Structure 1
Amino acid sequence: MAGEKTTDEVFDALAAAQRRRLLFALLDDAPQHVTELSGVPWSIPKSEADTIAEHHRHLPKLDESGFIDWDREEQVITKGPRFDEIEPVLECLNDRRDELPIELL
């Protein structure tokens, strides 16, 4: 049953476009600054309340799962201790992006 939990967590992490964009951005091993993430809603000027809501929903969820490490003070995101569990799925999706009948990002 442990594998089921991991599979559910991986698919849950990938369920929201904002989280997928962030996770795909981490594939190249470079730390990501929250304010510089291209195409991620919290990098687009919007109301402060909306930005705070995005931070409180998506970033903590990925941080708590261990897929990312989020330095809240520096607003820097790096691969978390469990990123290796989601990385093969991200790579597979990324490699087959043109073949998929869905829009990933």
Structure 2
Amino acid sequence: MVFSRYENGTDVIERWDRVFEAVAAEPRRQLIVSLLDREPDQSVRLPESAVNPNVPIAPERLERELKHCHLPLLADGGYIEWESDPFVASRGSRFEEVAVVFETLHSFAADVPDQLVLGCQRLERERQFG
């Protein structure tokens, strides 16, 4: 019993570490939120769906970063699936593990400190319209 709890605890810690690594970069956060806004079986276009509208980045640079860093990390975790032609992403088998972070955050937008809300269109909208 103790060993089983230890094994399960270790697994949970590793999963949370992977989730927080997955959401540690803005393009990955934007992509996850874009996928949340779609039906589960729909894909989103890239690189557009990974851009923060308040802080645009050159599309060529973002596409390179997505293909070589962000998308492989998310795909390796099972959070997304992606294709390069057409350049799109869709939910992976473990998408809910990262989605819950944003669903929870959005549902408590009124409690999030202002410095983490102002400038984030999604949280500002959640706060305004609840």
Task: Calculate the TM-score normalised by the size of structure 1.
Answer: 0.80
1:85-100 correspondence to structure 2 within 5 Å = 85-100=97-112
RCO (CA 8 Å, sep 6+): is it higher in 1 or 2?
A: 1
- Tell me: CA distance 1:86–1:48, structure 2 relative to 1, closer, same or farther (3 Å): closer
- Tell me: CA distance 1:33–1:12, structure 2 relative to 1, closer, same or farther (3 Å): same
Which residue among 7, 10, 34 is the counterpart of 2:16? 7
Residues 1:39 and 2:51 are matched in the alignment: yes
In 2: Cα distance, 1:56 partner to 1:85 partner: 22
| Structure-2 residue corresponding to 1:20 | 29
| Residue 49 of structure 1: how far off its partner (Å) | 4.8
Residue-by-residue CA offset, 1:30-62 (whole Å, 9 max, x unaligned): 311104327348xx5627355413431111111
> 1:22 touches 1:40 (CA, 8 Å); kept in 2?
no
Could you tell which deviates more after superposition, 1-10 or 27-36? Answer: 27-36
Point out where structure 2 has 5 or more consecutive residues left out of the alignment.
1-9, 121-130
- Tell me: CA distance 1:9–1:25, structure 2 relative to 1, closer, same or farther (3 Å): same
The structure whose Rg is larger is 2
Q: Percent identity?
A: 31
Which residue among 79, 82, 93 is the counterpart of 1:81? 93
| Structure-2 residue corresponding to 1:52 | 64
> 2:30 touches 2:51 (CA, 8 Å); kept in 1?
yes
List structure 1 segments (4+ residues) > 4 angstroms apart after TM superposition: none
Could you tell which deviates more after superposition, 8-17 or 94-103? Answer: 94-103
3-state secondary structure, aligned to 1:19: helix
Question: Pairwise CA RMSD of aligned residues?
Answer: 2.5
> 1:63 touches 1:80 (CA, 8 Å); kept in 2?
yes
Q: Matched residue pairs, number?
A: 103
